[in-house]
Amino acid sequence: MDAKTSPSAASAPLIDVKGLSQALAAFAAERDWDQYHSPKNLAMALTGEVGELSEIFQWLTEDASKSVATNPDTATAVREELADVTLYLVRLASVLGVDLNEAVTQKLQKNAAKYPVDKAHGSHKKYDKL
């Protein structure tokens, strides 16, 4: 990342899930679900929701896959599955004590170093093959 795109501590967070994390914690506590929200269980639930999202795309052409969020036959399902994935991801990070903004910021910086623009631009190759 260059100076223009590199997130800094002084810039706004790339993602802010604090409110959602608190809402999910309250939702689980109200239902006495904390006992079920182990990292293992949440990771498995997240995987299941990613599978449900993937199922929407299964067998679609590349062009058809680009319109799933606007196609009346799939738009609601896509939004709901993306929300489910997000909810479980945020809850898992919260239970593990992972700051998602920090993790994302660090990962973007690491990816920028692994995939420099001059080598990766327009390429599908993995960083060790550039």
For residues 96-102, average pLDDT:
97
Position 35 confidence tier, pLDDT thresholds 50, 70, 90 = very high
Question: Which residues, including other chains, have CB under 8 Å from residue 59's CB and lie 6 or more apart?
Answer: none
- For the stretch 112-127, pLDDT in tens is 999 999 999 999 999 9
Task: Give me the percent of the chain exceeding a pLDDT of 70.
Answer: 92
Annotation: CATH topology of 18-98:
Helix Hairpins (1.10.287)
Orientation angle between helical segments 75-96 and 39-57, nearest 10 degrees? 160
Per the rule left: phi > 0, alpha: psi between -120 and 50, beta: everything else, 6 is: beta
> Please, where in the chain does CATH 1.10.287.1080 lie?
18-98
